[in-house]
Amino acid sequence: MTKKGRVFSGARPTGRQHLGNYLGAIRNYVALQADYDCVYCVVDLHALTTMETTRDLKNNTYEMALDWLAAGIDPQESIVFIQSQVRQINELFLIFSMVSPLGKLTDLPTFKEKVRQAPHNVNLGLVGYPVLMAADIALYKADLVPVGIDQAPHIEYTRETVRSFNYRYSTNVLVEPGMKVTEIPKVLGTDGQQKMSKSLNNHIELALTAEETQKVVMTMVTDPQRARRTDPGNPDVCNVFSLHKVFSSPEEVDTINTECRNAGIGCVDCKKLFARNLNAHLAPFREKRSALAEKPDYIWDVLHDGAQRAGTIAEQTMQEVRAAVGLPE
């Protein structure tokens, strides 16, 4: 079947994936394979910008790739690889640096936020983070990048960088990517307040057992105004309800919506139902994950094969880029 174009997406190697990663990215990655040629990248070089130790880098790369494949990313259909294994990325990053205004980079809200979080570790790589991201996308000539709404400015930055490059070197070899904003841009953590994240320890790991999942689900914060079982609740402010909408049937969602408001259902039962539906949804993933985990060499083979295929595209792009810039062959 003819595909509609090429999708590129990258994610930092954060190890075992959680529900936020699944709903925000992985589920979408899997679905996109039907219509697009997909290039999915473990962006380990990006991770170095804020990483103080690389001790877990390799293992986190492996665990994330394992989750991706278990979730349904098909390495025959898609290219799955590690960013640093395609060396051309370094070259395009450097060339893009020449068309990247420093003032603009230091003005980006994401950069300011990183500086605020770690003022002792403001390095050149951190400033150049969006440039590296632009290089990733442009290197594979992606037509479309799936993103959460918070990442939209980075894609806009990529589009500007591609335009600047094409203008500076009077060429049209690089492609301005479009973006596809995911339907669930923000998944809250078990605290019901902040975005689900490993570093905040408010996450639900996909690879947990059914029992472990239920345990974590039972700790989830619900409607804070609902102190007693007999108090009516408000599902509109409850993160458990938001997730029911994703994992439970429309009938169950309707019932909870009504019963919560008249105290007909308690939070304990509501969470148990959510845990049950989540576990049913994740059962095929867990089964596949266990099978894949028994052959770690296969995961590395997939990543190496992906790097070769990605490298072929990257080298083709770089030949055009070098020619446009006027660098010798």
**Contact footprint for ligand SF4 (CB under 6 A):** 222-223, 226, 233, 235, 238, 240-241, 256, 260, 265, 267, 270-271
Region at 234 (left for phi over 0; alpha for psi -120 to 50; beta for the rest): beta
Shorter beta-carbon distance to ligand SF4: residue 41 or 260: 260
Q: Which is nearer to ligand SF4, 45 or 270 (CB)?
A: 270
Please identify, using beta-carbon distances, which residue of 225 and 312 lies nearer to ligand SF4. 225
As a whole number of angstroms, the distance between CA 23 and CA 185 comes to: 8
Give the residue with the Cβ less far from ligand SF4, 65 or 187.
187
Buried b (16+ CB within 10 A) or exposed e, 282-312: beebbeebeebeeeeeebeebbeebbebbbe
The full DSSP string for 149-210 is: GGGHHHHHHHHHHHHHHHHHTT---S-PPEEEE-S----B-TTSSSB--TTTT---BTTS-H
Select 12 or 271, whichever has its Cβ closest to ligand SF4. Answer: 271
Our CB check for ligand SF4 shows the closer of 160 and 259 to be 259
Nearer to ligand SF4, 265 or 302 (CB): 265
- Return the closest-CA partner of residue 41 out of 77, 78, 71, 76: 78
Which C-beta is closer to ligand SF4: that of 38 or that of 270? 270
Q: For the CB of residue 211, give the shortest distance to ligand SF4 in the complex, in Å.
A: 20
Distance from C-alpha of 229 to C-alpha of 216, rounded to nearest angstrom:
20
Q: 144 has which bridge partners?
A: 7, 178
Which residues, including other chains, have CB under 8 Å from residue 77's CB and lie 6 or more apart? 33, 38
- List b or e across 37-74, with b for residues whose CB sees 16 or more CB atoms inside 10 angstroms: bbbbbbbbbbbbbebeeeeebeebbbbbbbbbbbbbbe
Min dist CB 221 to ligand SF4, Å, is 9
Q: How far is the CB of 217 from ligand SF4 (least distance, A)?
A: 10
Q: Which residues have a Cβ under 8 Å from the Cβ of 154 and sit 6 or more positions away?
A: 110, 130, 133, 147
Least separation in angstroms between residue 206's CB and ligand SF4 is 21
Least distance to ligand SF4, CB of residue 241, Å: 4
Contact at 8 Å (CB) between 124 and 130?
A: no
Is the CB of residue 47 less than 8 Å from the CB of residue 16?
no
